[in-house]
Structures are given as C-alpha cells and as structure tokens.
Chains A and B, each alone.
Chain A
Amino acid sequence: MRTLIAFLVAIGSAGALRSPAAQAPDARPDALRFAVIGDNGTGDRYEYEVARQMVVAREQFPFEMVLMLGDNIYGGQTPKDFVQKFELPYRPLLDAGVRFYAALGNHDNPGNRFYQPFNMGGERYYTFAKGNARFFVLDSDYLDDKQRSWIDDSLKGSRDEWKICFFHHPLYSNGGRHGAQVDLRVILEPIFTRHGVDVVFSGHDHVYERLKPQRGIQYFVSGAAGQVRKGNLRQSDTTAAGFDQDQSFMLVEVAGTNLSFRAVSRTGKTVDSGVLQKGPRP
C-alpha cells in the first residue's frame, strides 16, 4: 500500500533570508520534533558552528532528538575523536537530554554502533518509535539479505502513522559528487512503496536537496552538517529545492497528519521549508 502525501505548503527556497524562529512550526504539545544532520563529524569549526545554530534553533523549536545520517565521525575513530567531533560540538544538546540516533556512513567504523550516545543498541540497522512515528535506520554500506528481510518485515509489521527511514546513501540525489545510488534504489524502493514509507532522509552528498515526491515518498538529502560542496547540486526535474552554498541541517515536526520541515543554514537562514500532509492509506 502506498502512502499518499499531499503537499499543502511548500514554501521557501534556496537563499531565503528568514530566521529559524520566524519559521518555527507551531509548538503543539503532542508534536514530535527532531533535527536532522548528515556528514557532520569533521571536528572542524563548521561543524561547531552548525551545532551552535542547532542550539539557537532549539530555543524556539525544542526538538527532543537528532537523526544522524552517517559519516558521523570522519578520520580517526579514537575516543579523543569522539570527544572532538561529537561530544564537544553537541555538548549543550547532550546536556539538555537530546538523544542522537545514528546511521552508519562509509566513513564510520561499524564498531561505532556500540557507542552509547549514538543509541544504536549495538545494531547496524534498527528501529525505534517516537510519538506517532516509527523510524527505520539502515546500514546502506552493505544491504545484505538479512537486512533486506529485516526492513521488509519491520515495515510490514509497523502500524505507526508515519514511517520514516534514514540511512547514509541517497536513493535519489542530484549531488554532482555521488548522486543517486540506483542499485540500492531498485532494492529498497519497492519495499518502501509496498509498506507505505512516508519520508526518507539520506546524506552522503554534501548538499541539501528536497526531491519531488517519488512514487509517493518524500526524499531529502541532508549531508552538509559538517562539509559542504559548494555548487555541487546539479538541479534536475526531480529537484524540488536545494541549497549548496553553505553547511545546513534540518528541523522537522510531526504533528498528527502533518510533517513540517525546515532546512537551516550554518548562519541561521531558512533555505527551504514546507509541510507534508498524509492522505489516507489506500
């Protein structure tokens, strides 16, 4: 069964100058709010600046968790690296009780799944539920039969209102460096459409891109929370919006049948925003 998503509003565009506060979705008490970062773990000043912007955004948009789309720690993977590339930049969020949920990227040691603050439970792929949404986290480096069966069964068994998947390599992307992982798409997309996945977040390409809905699924590429490839987005007829001029992250709110999203640059500009509304499941 395919979930129907209707775009009620899709406002904002690359380079739009609006503060996060001005665009913060209404704070509904029952809403689930989270941030999304991808390819963030550089440990350089840009990662720290994005992290600071997330702290600022949280004052107006109190998100309770952060989805990490992979490449969470670049370079060395020693305890010192975890401090410099994760614990220090996100210390204010960690201290405030924000939980991080990580997917593995190609620069991540698979052993990082045991790092407690990533909340992976020691698994390469896992699922968790928050509010009326269930999240499915995949290891897109190796999509073996076992993982394929797992995601098929897990999605099938989910009765949650929103089904949200996130993993590192994008099924759709117009990033010039990597682009879409078509070999993964032909495996995963039929499973996603069969079981009514609503939204997919990926990274890998160091840009922000919102794709036009593909087969009823909304895809986002958000891989610029640490590194950015300026000018690398090759917009095509599948691009709905994009931003490749600075680092960025996303803020998302799930409230009932609405999912509001906003992409925010390192300097606090809203570069894209909109609302998805679920239609009835056919």
Chain B
Amino acid sequence: MTRMQRFAASHFFAFPIGALVALIWANSQPETYFVFARAWSFPVNDIGMVVFFALVTAEIVDAVSPGGALHTWRRMTLPFVAAVGGMIGATLAYFAYLRTGDELSVLSRGWPVAGAVDLVVGYVLVRGIFRRHAAIPFFLLLGVAADLCGAVVVELLYPVAERHLAGVALIAAGVGIAVAFRRAGATSSWPFVVIAGASSWWGFFLSGLHPAFALVPIIPFIVGHGAGRSTMSREDGLSRFDRIWSVPSQVGLLLFALVNAGVMFKDIGTATKAVTIAALAGKPLGMLAAAGVAIACGLHLPRGVGRRELVVVALASSTACSFGLFLATAAIAPGPVLAETKVGALMTVGGALLALTAARVLRIGRFSPKPASKRTGHESARRSAAPRSLAGV
C-alpha cells in the first residue's frame, strides 16, 4: 500500500461522519447549527485545514520524487490530461445546464466545484471495486491533478479578500525561511511548520489567497527520501510530519465536514442540479474524451487498465464531496448560492453508485467472473501492489 493510499484509507471515515452529523443538525436545529458553523468556520477552514492540505502536498511531493508515481513527465501526463479533460467537461456541462435557465450570471462561480475529485471517498470506492489493481494509483493521480487544477483556478480567479502585496512578501519570506532550514540541515518538521508556516499563513491571509494552502509551498523543503521512504526510513522529516499530523488531519477533516456539510435539504436549487449534472456526466465524459485523445496521440494507459477500467475510474472520480465543498466555500460567499452549490457537491456522492453500476455492467474488478489478477495479468497486479508500482502509469 502506498502512502497516498494509506492517507485515503485513514481519512475515510472522518468526512462521512462529520457530514452526517452536520446534515442531521442543520435540518433539525438550523439556527443553532449555523451559529456553530459560522463561529467555527474560520478556525476550521482557514487554520485546521492547513494540516490536511499539508499532508496532501506531502503525498504529491512523494509522488514527484524519484521513484514516485508522478516522477518523470511521461507518467503524469495521461492522468493530468484526463484531469484537465474532466475539468473542461464539467465546466462545459455546468454552463450548458445554466444556459437553459436565467441564473447563469449569479451562479457562474460554482463551476470549479464540479471539477473537484474526492480522493478519500473515491479511493475507497476504486479499492472496493478493483481490490489491487493499477487502476487505483491511476485514479489517485488523476484526482490529485484535478484538485490541483481546481485549487489553482479558485486561488487565481476568486481570492477570498483583496490582494495585498505585503502578503506575497510574507509568503516569500516563509519559503526563504524553509530554504534556510533545509540548507542548515534541519530534519525536524517543527521549525518548518511553526516559523516558515506561520509566515506563509499570514502571507496567504493578507494576499487574499486561501490560508488553508499556507503549508503547500513549505512542505517541499521538509527533507524526505522520496517515494520509497515508507520502506527505507521512518525518520526523515516528511515521514515524521506525516506521523505527527495524521490524526490531527483526520480530526480537521471531520470538523471541516461538520462545519461545512450542514446544508438544508430545502436548499436544492439550480446550482445543485448544475453541479450534480456537471460532476456526474460532464466530468467523466470529459475525462474519457481527453484520455481518448491522449491515447490517440501516443500516450499509454497503465498496464492492466483498459477502456472498461477507465470508464469506472472516470465515474469514480465524479464524486466531488469533500474537496468540492472546500472549493465551494473558497469561491463563493455565504448565502443561498453557496448553500445550493454545497448540496450539489454532496449529491455527487451518487457518482459512487454510478461507478459501482458501471463496474457491475462491465464486469470488471470484483464483479469480474474471473479473478482480476488472472484477467489483467499477474505481473500488473504485482506491480500495482508494490510501493513503486506506478511505472506503467
């Protein structure tokens, strides 16, 4: 199991539990819920989620390090192209749906939400369908790329406050401090988080960028040993960071769901339908189209991943839930538009049902009449199960 997979597995229960409690609370005692959510919005969304995104960044750093899944451009190209295709497909579907009504101008900010991929829910889903298969890391790479695109788009287009140049200087100072720590040979992650991270957080806050991403530019400087470190060493800075912050990150994700997933069912509206349709139809179609073009241009799917598996992976990636909620709260100010969009993000959990149905109809993974390892080849199954198994991606 790779570190990315462990990350997804360890965080799986946090979001559904928090979301379920929030939904029940918001629909039974809305006033107390929204007072609570408003009071905790800043500490959870802008501070607590820093840890979560730091760990996601650590996974990405891991993946692009030598031996990692994204190391060398050839490996990252196809899932990246598919992710961009998914985003384009979701965006086109979102706006196409809105053009059938008269709320396009008011709801236009919600489009990045549909392009998000819930890595945690999606991972457990594809894991449940494929068990051990190259489709799993392919899904994770695709999801990371999609969320990265979504985060960049939201940060660039929808800053949470007015931009101040002083913020950029503070971010630069934070990165400079991190570089200095690394050159000084600091192996503990604490100086990076407490000193460089604090400067970066304040810089993000002032610059109008979302402070939850404050550790994203800092994490790459925490010394790690690449993708193999989970088996080679448990004592490098990034691994220690991972161990220290894993549980707080799960708590953060649970609180994030509790604070943000509480929507009233009556808030289903045009944005809800637009996000749901865009995520469940536009995104997988866009992914498949982009992947088809990429394959026609000479790129290759991972060994063991065929067209049928690709369809199921694309549908599994249509669940936007947690990251969709994050992008919604980052891009849209409080009010009915945000509420409608959030309901849409939560309803994309229906993508799980679509993926399961597709897997059953296409008879792949656990629904295959033969063991997956025999059909896809013993070699590919063995490769996909190992930490450095993404050579085919």
Q: Which of A111, A147, A185 contacts B31 (CB 8 A)?
A: A185
Q: Are A169 and B31 in contact (CB under 8 A)?
A: no
Q: How far is the CA of A169 from the CA of B269 in the complex (A)?
A: 13
Q: Are B105 and A109 in contact (CB under 8 A)?
A: yes
Q: Which of B37, B103, B336, B337 contacts A107 (CB 8 A)?
A: B103
Contacts of A77 in B (CB 8 A): 102, 105
Q: How far is the CA of A104 from the CA of B333 in the complex (A)?
A: 15
Q: Are A182 and B31 in contact (CB under 8 A)?
A: yes
Minimum C-beta distance from B356 to chain A (A): 33
Contacts of B103 in A (CB 8 A): 106-107
Minimum C-beta distance from B254 to chain A (A): 21
Beyond A75-B102, A106-B336, is A186–B35 a contact (Cβ under 8 Å)?
Answer: yes
Q: Which of A75, A106, A147 contacts B337 (CB 8 A)?
A: A106
Within 8 A of B (CB), among A88-126: 104, 106-111
Contacts of B35 in A (CB 8 A): 186
Q: How far is the CA of A169 from the CA of B336 in the complex (A)?
A: 8
The contact string, 1 if C-beta is below 8 Å from chain A, for chain B 83-122, is 0000000000000000000110110000000000000000
- B30 touches A (CB below 8 Å): yes
Q: Are A183 and B34 in contact (CB under 8 A)?
A: yes
Q: Are B34 and A186 in contact (CB under 8 A)?
A: yes
Minimum C-beta distance from A90 to chain B (A): 20
The contact string, 1 if C-beta is below 8 Å from chain A, for chain B 262-273, is 001010011000
- A9 touches B (CB below 8 Å): no
Contacts of B34 in A (CB 8 A): 182-183, 185-186
Which 7 A-B pairs give the minimum distances between C-beta atoms?
A: A144-B333, A142-B333, A182-B30, A109-B105, A186-B34, A143-B335, A183-B34
- B369 touches A (CB below 8 Å): no
Minimum C-beta distance from B269 to chain A (A): 8
Q: How far is the CA of A13 from the CA of B39 in the complex (A)?
A: 40
- A145 touches B (CB below 8 Å): yes
Show 27 A/B contacts (Cβ-Cβ < 8 Å), sorted by A. Answer: A76-B102, A77-B105, A106-B270, A106-B337, A107-B102, A107-B106, A110-B106, A141-B335, A141-B336, A141-B337, A142-B332, A142-B337, A143-B335, A169-B335, A169-B336, A181-B339, A182-B30, A182-B34, A182-B264, A183-B335, A183-B336, A183-B338, A183-B339, A184-B336, A186-B35, A186-B38, A187-B334
Contacts of B333 in A (CB 8 A): 142-145, 147
Secondary structure type dominating chain A contacts: loop
Contacts of A178 in B (CB 8 A): 266
Q: Which residue of chain A has the shortest Cβ distance to B264 in the bound complex? A: A182
- A179 touches B (CB below 8 Å): yes
- B161 touches A (CB below 8 Å): yes
Number of B residues near A (Cβ < 8 Å) is 23
Q: How far is the CA of A195 from the CA of B34 in the complex (A)?
A: 21
Beyond A182-B264, A186-B31, is A111–B105 a contact (Cβ under 8 Å)?
Answer: yes
Q: How far is the CA of A144 from the CA of B31 in the complex (A)?
A: 20
Within 8 A of A (CB), among B222-268: 264, 266
- A135 touches B (CB below 8 Å): no
Q: How far is the CA of A75 from the CA of B102 in the complex (A)?
A: 5
Q: How far is the CA of A104 from the CA of B337 in the complex (A)?
A: 13
Contacts of B338 in A (CB 8 A): 183
- A227 touches B (CB below 8 Å): no
Q: How far is the CA of A186 from the CA of B31 in the complex (A)?
A: 7
Q: Which residue of chain A has the shortest Cβ distance to B263 in the bound complex? A: A183
User: Most chain-B Cβ atoms within 10 A of its Cβ — which of A76, A145, A181, A184?
Assistant: A181
Beyond A145-B161, A178-B266, is A183–B105 a contact (Cβ under 8 Å)?
Answer: no
- A260 touches B (CB below 8 Å): no
Minimum C-beta distance from A129 to chain B (A): 26
Within 8 A of A (CB), among B32-62: 34-35, 37-38
Q: Which of A74, A108, A140 contacts B336 (CB 8 A)?
A: A140
Q: Are A108 and B334 in contact (CB under 8 A)?
A: no
Within 8 A of B (CB), among A20-79: 74-77
Q: How far is the CA of A76 from the CA of B106 in the complex (A)?
A: 14
Minimum C-beta distance from A223 to chain B (A): 14
Q: How far is the CA of A181 from the CA of B338 in the complex (A)?
A: 12
Contacts of A110 in B (CB 8 A): 105-106
The contact string, 1 if C-beta is below 8 Å from chain A, for chain B 325-362, is 00000001111111100000000000000000000000
Minimum C-beta distance from B299 to chain A (A): 41
Q: Are B105 and A143 in contact (CB under 8 A)?
A: no
